[in-house]
Amino acid sequence: MTTPILEVSGLAVRYGKIEALHKASIKVGAGQIVSVIGPNGAGKSTLLNAIMGALPVTGHASGRIAYLGDEVGGLPIERRVARGMCLVPEKRELFASMTVEDNLVLGAYRRKRAGERNFLDQLDHVFALFPRLKERRAQAAGTLSGGERQMLAVGRALMGKPDLLMLDEPSLGLAPLIVKEIFHIISALRQTGVATLLIEQNARAALQISDYGYVLETGDLALEGPASELAQNPRVIETYLGLAKRPV
């Protein structure tokens, strides 16, 4: 593999005296979709927030976070964003009273401020990926359905043209059909060259579209492997996939 987009090694996170993540090491290669699956409280959001530099003030991270070969662990979140890292957090943080389109435009704010003249060049691409957002471009974000809000959060992230997209449980609270739609879109993003680090409790949907996967359990990476192999692992099947043959 050429230089990975992201290479995390020995990343540990404490909240006060409690260590929520123990020496985790993960890698995301160019154009890959990598997923981290695991139950509630395993430390999944902690891992993503630490990679992004978005831990709460009580959180403290140690270890190495290399982005395109450079250590970024000491950089503030804005500098990581400027380098092309982007996180769609668990709480989607949309601007409820603003329209769908204005939320998307805000996603390109950093590029506008950096003086990029065509900072809105991703708008058509986002509308092509999410036709529902185009239909609802003038609607207030706060009136969208859960699935549409999730689409808007991902769309807004894409407006910033990230190289590494990190998604914290995009399927959370969504009906199976919408989950399928969103995962299909994430999978399609591969063609645009963006690498995706996906955190999910919906192991089946995540492993189906991923190249590689990790299983995080109470702060430890318990298992890892190519996604197709993980999906065949008896322990993964029993604990995370339930009825093995049921389609999504």
Ligand X SMILES: Nc1ncnc2c1ncn2[C@@H]1O[C@H](COP(=O)(O)OP(=O)(O)OP(=O)(O)O)[C@@H](O)[C@H]1O
Q: Which residues bind Mg ion (CB under 5 A)?
A: 44-45
Cβ distance to Mg ion smaller for residue 17 or 91: 91
Euclidean distance between CA atoms 89 and 78, whole angstroms: 15
Count CB atoms within 10 A of the CB of residue 30.
Answer: 15
Cβ distance to Mg ion smaller for residue 44 or 204: 44
Query: Please, which residues have CB within 8 angstroms of residue 232's CB and are 6 or more apart in sequence?
Result: none
Which of ligand X, Mg ion, none binds 42 (CB below 5-8 Å, type-dependent)? Answer: ligand X
DSSP of 136-203: TTTSBGGGS-HHHHHHHHHHHHHHT--SEEEEE-TTTT--HHHHHHHHHHHHHHGGGT-EEEEEES-H
239 binds ligand X (CB under 6 A): no
17 binds ligand X (CB under 6 A): no
41 binds ligand X (CB under 6 A): yes
Q: How far is the CB of 174 from ligand X (least distance, A)?
A: 15
Q: How many chain residues bind ligand X (CB under 6 A)? A: 15
Q: Side chain identity at 49, as an amino acid letter?
A: N
Query: Please, which residues have CB within 8 angstroms of residue 104's CB and are 6 or more apart in sequence?
Result: 123, 126, 133, 152, 155, 156, 159
Of 6, 34, 44, 206, the one binding ligand X (CB under 6 A) is 44
- Chain positions 88 to 127 lying near ligand X, rule: CB under 6 A, are 90
205 binds ligand X (CB under 6 A): no
46 binds ligand X (CB under 6 A): yes
Element (H, E) at 223: strand 220-226
Cβ distance to ligand X smaller for residue 129 or 230: 230
Positions touching ligand X (CB under 6 A) are: 15, 20, 38, 40-46, 56, 58-59, 90, 201
